[in-house]
Structure 1
Amino acid sequence: MTVHYHEEDLPAGVLADGPVAVDTETMGLVTTRDRLCVVQISDGKGDEHLVRFANGSAYDAPNLKAVLADPARVKIYHFARFDLAAIEHYLGVEASPVFCTKIASKMTRTYTDRHGLKMIVSELLGEDISKQQQSSDWGAPELNDAQREYAASDVRYLHRLRDVLTERLEREGRLEMAQACYDFLPTRARLDVAGWADSDIFSHM
């Protein structure tokens, strides 16, 4: 298991075919204000790749964009809504098709309201991940070892979680409903960026 660090783009040919786990680190939670700093990606074979973007970056990352925009590759996220918005706003690609472990957790683990990645990994996989660096400065000129390990851990377990959660969705008869939610997520992310982040446009009010 190795964490690979890259500047401004992903090297060509470093990922195996098939689904990829994806996550992002930004300067904050407001997509249009808080720039994209890091994209993490893993093919689930044991290595994680971190692509860091400097302040003022043109986000010209053709190799990374090609992977993210590939319609033949499922992208596995935890809380895809946020990552999709950041990726499309800064990199200009729709990073779908999608599997979201947070949505899958909410649709299967209805016995709890704890759907954070740390809790899901602990319960379903028996692994412990640290969230200590979650609120650190991702826009710094250099990422420290703790930040790199934290970023890598956010994609390290997503392939395994997808397998477990898919089994549960099938067991509960909710696989098609979950897929419909995943398919809507790119539009939900665009609504967030366009100003409807806190509005339920489907409500009567």
Structure 2
Amino acid sequence: MPIDLHDGDLPDGLDLKSLARGGAVAIDTETMGLNPHRDRLCLVQLSPGDGTVHLVQFRKGEYDAPNLKRLLTDPEVTKLFHFARFDVAVMRAYLGVACQPVYCTKVASKLVRTFTDKHGLKDLVKDLLGVELSKQQQSSDWGAAELTPEQMKYAASDVLHLHDLKEKLDVMLAREGRTHLAKACFDFLPARGELDLGGWEQPDILSH
């Protein structure tokens, strides 16, 4: 699994759009915690679906990243996430961009795998692809100046399987007649992220 680490942005000349399998680039983030107002964005990992992974590491307060932002806002590239709600919110907060269009494997799983309450990435990859993921580095220090090989491998594993998951879930969505419902949910996710950032995380404004 080739992993390339980049400082502050994707390099000039790297055209992930042309490599994007099915028109999608898998994306994930690593932060200092789960509160975007307090816990800064440290890493964005991306895979075009060809077995390669690119990691963009951010130093505190340095979020220019014009090449990455161009990709995140390209309307012809689907941004493929697991739990997109958090990732699109944190990138909105730190990179100042609204990621669109979006696909979320967690949302898709909840719409079609109603026979289980296990929709985490580890469970999904095991159930649908037969692959065991290690989550050992999940709570490590992503703000460190130098990432360890173990951290980079963990970060890469979070995007490496998303294209395969999407293909499996798309078949299930079509089978159950819920493709249109999934798309409506995906289209709303950027707004859901903004609501979270604005203080409407709980209670949900759609609740009674």
How far is 1:200 from its partner? 1.6
C-alpha RMSD of the superposition:
0.8
Match of 1:47 in 2: 52
TM-score (norm. length: structure 2) = 0.95
Unpaired segments of 5 or more residues in structure 1?
none
Q: Secondary structure at the match of 1:196?
A: coil
Match of 2:11 in 1: 11
Q: Secondary structure at the match of 2:80?
A: strand
Aligned equivalents of 2:200, 2:99: Cα separation in 1? 20
How far is 1:49 from its partner? 0.3
Aligned equivalents of 2:197, 2:150: Cα separation in 1? 30
Match of 1:118 among 116, 122, 126: 122
Aligned equivalents of 1:188, 1:68: Cα separation in 2? 17
The one-letter code matched in structure 2 to 1:11 is: P
How far is 1:13 from its partner? 3.3
Q: Secondary structure at the match of 1:121?
A: helix
Q: Secondary structure at the match of 1:170?
A: helix
TM-score (norm. length: structure 1) = 0.97
Q: Secondary structure at the match of 2:138?
A: coil
- 5 Å matches for 1:156-171? 156-171=160-175
Q: Secondary structure at the match of 1:195?
A: coil
Match of 1:186 among 185, 190, 208: 190
Runs of 4+ in 1 over 3 A off after TM superposition: none
How far is 1:152 from its partner? 0.3
How far is 1:203 from its partner? 2.1
Same amino acid, percent of matched pairs: 59
Aligned equivalents of 2:70, 2:77: Cα separation in 1? 10
Match of 1:201 in 2: 205
- 5 Å matches for 1:1-205? 1-14=1-14, 15=16, 16-17=19-20, 18-57=23-62, 59-204=63-208
How far is 1:52 from its partner? 0.2
Between the two proteins, the alignment pairs up a number of residues equal to 203
How far is 1:32 from its partner? 1.1
